[in-house]
Amino acid sequence: MRLPSILLIFGAFFGFLGAIHNTDDNAGYHNFKLIRINPETEGSVKYLRSLYEDPSPYELDFWQPPTNIGAIVDLTVAPADAPRFVKDLESKKISYIVAVNDLSKAIENERGSDKFYNPVAGFAYDKYNSLEEIQTEMKRLKKEYPTMITLIDIGQSHENRTLLVMKITGKRNPLGSKISMWIDAGIHAREWIAPATAMYIAHELLLGYENDATVAKLMDHIDFYILPVMNPDGYEYSREKNRMWRKNRSPAKCARQTFSTVCCSGVDLNRNFDWFWASTGSSSDPCHDTYHGSAAFSEPESQAVRDFLEQNTPEAFISLHSYSQMWLIPYGHRKQSYPQDYHTGLRPLALRATKALYELYGTKYQVGTGADLMYEASGGSHDWAKGQLKVPYAYLIELRPKNTMMGHGFLLPEREIVPTGLETFESIKVVADELVAQFVEPVIRAKLTTTTKPAIPPYRRGYSIIDTTTMEPVDEITQKPTEAPTTEEPTTTTTEEPTTTTTTEEPTEAPTEPSPTTVEATEASTTPEASTSSETSTTENSEPNQKTSTPVAPEASTVEEETITPIKCVDYGDYCRLWGVLQLCYRDQVSKLCPKTCDSRCSFSV
C-alpha cells in the first residue's frame, strides 16, 4: 500500500476502515518510521520489489525503490505495521537501520526559524516558500528588471493554478538572436529543494549579470527559461495536507474491487511524457505513486510544458529533482540504452558540470542514465526532450542529499538550500558555457571573417618594403641610355600589382632615348600622395638627353609611422574576442588589453 490520498468505500461489516492511515494531515506522520535497507542478495531485492510493485500487507511509502544488490532502499512504514515489518525483514536476514524514529519530528526540523532567514525585498531565498510567495517574487523581479525578465503563463493546472515561467536574459543581444536553456523544478510535489534551487539559480543570474563577466557573457547569448514549480497543485497539497505527496492532483479515479470501491487521485507527471510511455517503471494503478495516467500527456501540466517547448525548443533541458545526488542522462526507460551522442557529448559535459559542482563544497554526484544507476522508468520528461524534441543536451538532476542518512531524504533542512543552490549554479554555468562555445562562437567567427576590412596600407600584410635607394636622399637620379629597363618586384607580394611603384616616361622631344624605366619607390614613398609628388617634381634639363628627379620630402604623418615601434599583436584579456564583436574597442582599457583584436594594424601584420 502506498501513501496516496485514498477514499475507501467498504461494506458496513468491514470494521477495519479506521486502521487506514489518513494522509491529509502532516501530524498523522507521528511515529512513522523511516527505514533504510541494504539488500545484499537477489532474493532480498526480489522480495522488496514485490512490496513496491504489488499490493502489500504493510502501509509502506518507498522513497528510494529497490533496484539491485547493494542499492540502498529508503521507505517509511506506519506505526501499526512497523513491528511486523521489521520482524519480517529480520526473518529474511535483510539488513536495515531505522534512520528516523518519528517522521513528524523530521518534518518539523526541516523548517528553520524565521530569525535565521535572510530575505531579499521580503523574499527569503534560504527558505521553503509557498507557491504564492514564489510567484509574487517572480513578479517583483519583473518590476525590478523589466528589460531582463519576461513572465510567461504557459498553462493551468487541474485546480487552475498558473504554470508561470520566468524568462531571464541579458540586456545586450550582439548577434540579434539568442539560444536558450530550459530549467524546470517541482514536478514531484514533495521534492521541495528543487523549486528552492530553481529560484536560487534565477537569483544568481540576476545578481551575477552586473558583477560577473562570465555570467554576463552567458546571459547576453542565452535566454534562460525557468519554471520553478511545474506541479503547483501537488506542491501546495504537500505543504498544506500531506508533506510526502508526490503526484499532481488530478481528479480521483475509482475502481471496483471485490468488497469495495477504491478511489485515488493524482498522476506521476514524470511518467506522463511520450517516451516509451507506460512500458517500464510506472504503474497502471491510480493508487500507486508512479501511476502514469490514462495516456501520454493526459495531464494539463505536462501538456503545457510540451506545447511551450515545441514552439520554443531550447538547446539545453534540465529538470531538477531530489534526492540522491545523481546527474542523469537519457535514456531511462531501458538499461544500456543511450543516445548517439551519449559518449561524445552528453556524458563528457555532465562530468565537467559535476566536477565544477564538486569543487565548491566537495559534493559528489554520480553520472549516468537512470536505468543504469537506479531503475528503469519510461515516460520521463528529459528522455522525451532528448528523444522526441531533439534537444542537444537534456539532463535530470537529483539534488541533495545523497541518502536518508544525510539530510533525511526529501526532508532536507532549509540550511542546505543556499549551498545546494550555489553548487548547482556552478554546474549550470558549465552547461551554458558549452552552449555558447558550440552554438554561438561559430557564428561570431563567421561574422568576424565576413566583416568588411579597412583599406590595406602598402606596408601591411602581403607587402615587403624594398629599398631601391640609399638611406640618404640623392640630389639626382640619372638613367643611362645603354641600360635596359629594370623592374623590382616585392618578395612576398599577395596582390598582382604593388602600389608603391612610379613610372617616369621620357620627354617627347627625345624619341631616340631608351624605353621608359620603372623605378621602385623608397620606403618614404609609401603612400599614393608621395608617389604623385615625386612624379610632379620631375623637371627637364636644358639637354634633351638628360632627365633629373628632385626628391620631395615625405609628409610628416608618413615619417611618424616609420618611427613607431612595431605593435605586439597579443590579446591579454579573456574576453577580447567578445569585446571586439560588441564593438567596445573604443574604450581605452579594452584597446590596451586587446591590441590583437582592436588595433587595425594587427589585422594585417605578418
Q: Is the pLDDT of residue 216 over 90?
A: yes
Spatial separation of the C-alpha atoms in residues 107 and 104, rounded to whole Å: 5
The reply to whether the predicted model has a pTM over 0.85 is: no
Q: Which pLDDT belongs to residue 55? A: 85
Q: Which pLDDT belongs to residue 115? A: 60
Q: How far is CA 472 from CA 23, 84, 522, 548, in A?
A: 102, 110, 11, 17
Are the CB atoms for 33 and 404 separated by under 8 Å?
Answer: no
Query: CB 286: neighbour CB atoms within 10 A?
Result: 23
For residue 291, the 8-state DSSP code is: B
Q: Which pLDDT belongs to residue 460? A: 42
Q: Is there a shared CATH topology between the 6-108 domain and the 129-240+300-447 domain?
A: no
Catalytic residue among 137, 191, 299, 398: 398
Residue 201 or 28, more confident: 201
Are the CB atoms for 567 and 595 separated by under 8 Å?
Answer: yes
Are the CB atoms for 386 and 340 separated by under 8 Å?
Answer: no
* pLDDT one-digit tens code per residue, 423-454: 999 999 999 999 999 999 998 888 887 655 55
Query: CB 601: neighbour CB atoms within 10 A?
Result: 17
User: 6-108: which CATH number, 3.30.300.350, 3.40.190.10, 3.40.50.620, 3.30.70.340?
Assistant: 3.30.70.340
Confidence of residue 573 (pLDDT cuts 50, 70, 90): low
Query: CB 218: neighbour CB atoms within 10 A?
Result: 24
Q: Is the pLDDT of residue 204 over 50?
A: yes
Residue 151 or 19, more confident: 151
* pLDDT one-digit tens code per residue, 131-153: 999 999 999 999 999 999 999 99
What mean pLDDT comes out for the span 205-210? 96
Q: Is the pLDDT of residue 473 over 50?
A: no
Residue with cell 546571459: 219
Q: Is the pLDDT of residue 395 over 60?
A: yes
First to last CA, the chain: 77
Q: Which pLDDT belongs to residue 262? A: 86
Lowest pLDDT segment from 121-125, 246-250, 363-367: 121-125
Tell me which CATH code domain 129-240+300-447 carries: 3.40.630.10
* pLDDT one-digit tens code per residue, 530-562: 344 444 444 444 444 444 444 444 444 444 444
Question: In 530-556, which positions are buried (b, 16+ CB within 10 angstroms) versus exposed (e)?
Answer: bbebbeeeeeeeeeeeebebebbebee
Lowest pLDDT segment from 38-52, 105-119, 552-566, 582-596: 552-566
- CA atoms lying within 13 Å on the CB side of residue 605: 12
Spatial separation of the C-alpha atoms in residues 414 and 128, rounded to whole Å: 7
Q: Which pLDDT belongs to residue 538? A: 42
**386 Cβ contact partners less than 8 Å away, ≥ 6 residues apart:** 317, 330, 331, 339, 394
What mean pLDDT comes out for the span 476-489? 44
Give me the chain's average pLDDT, please.
81
Spatial separation of the C-alpha atoms in residues 100 and 102, rounded to whole Å: 6
Spatial separation of the C-alpha atoms in residues 8 and 404, rounded to whole Å: 31
Percent of the chain with pLDDT over 70: 73
* pLDDT one-digit tens code per residue, 72-82: 999 999 999 99
* pLDDT one-digit tens code per residue, 509-526: 444 444 444 434 334 334
- Neighbour-count burial of 133, counting CB atoms closer than 10 A to its CB (0-12 exposed, 13-18 middle, 19+ buried): middle
For residue 601, the 8-state DSSP code is: G
Crossing angle between the packed helical segments 417-435 and 213-221, to the nearest 10 degrees: 60
191: annotated active-site residue: no
Q: Which pLDDT belongs to residue 604? A: 52
What does the domain layout of the chain look like in residue ranges? Answer: 6-108, 129-240+300-447, 567-603
Q: Which pLDDT belongs to residue 387? A: 97
What mean pLDDT comes out for the span 163-184? 96
Confidence of residue 261 (pLDDT cuts 50, 70, 90): confident
Q: Is the pLDDT of residue 468 over 60?
A: no
Q: Which pLDDT belongs to residue 207? A: 95
Are the CB atoms for 370 and 2 separated by under 8 Å?
Answer: no
Lowest pLDDT segment from 70-79, 99-108, 205-214, 507-516: 507-516
Residue 26 or 325, more confident: 325
In angstroms, how far is CA 577 from the centroid of its own chain? Answer: 21
**417 Cβ contact partners less than 8 Å away, ≥ 6 residues apart:** 125, 126, 127, 128, 193, 196, 197, 200
Q: Which of 145, 130, 315, 146 shows the shortest CA–CA distance to 229?
A: 130
Are the CB atoms for 36 and 73 separated by under 8 Å?
Answer: yes
Confidence of residue 25 (pLDDT cuts 50, 70, 90): low
What mean pLDDT comes out for the span 333-357? 97
Residue 502 or 345, more confident: 345
Confidence of residue 256 (pLDDT cuts 50, 70, 90): confident
Residue 404 or 139, more confident: 139
Percent of the chain with pLDDT over 90: 61
Q: Which pLDDT belongs to residue 26? A: 55
Lowest pLDDT segment from 151-160, 208-217, 258-267, 387-396: 258-267
If you compute the radius of gyration of the chain from its CA atoms, what whole number of angstroms results? 37
**236 Cβ contact partners less than 8 Å away, ≥ 6 residues apart:** 130, 131, 161
What mean pLDDT comes out for the span 330-344? 97
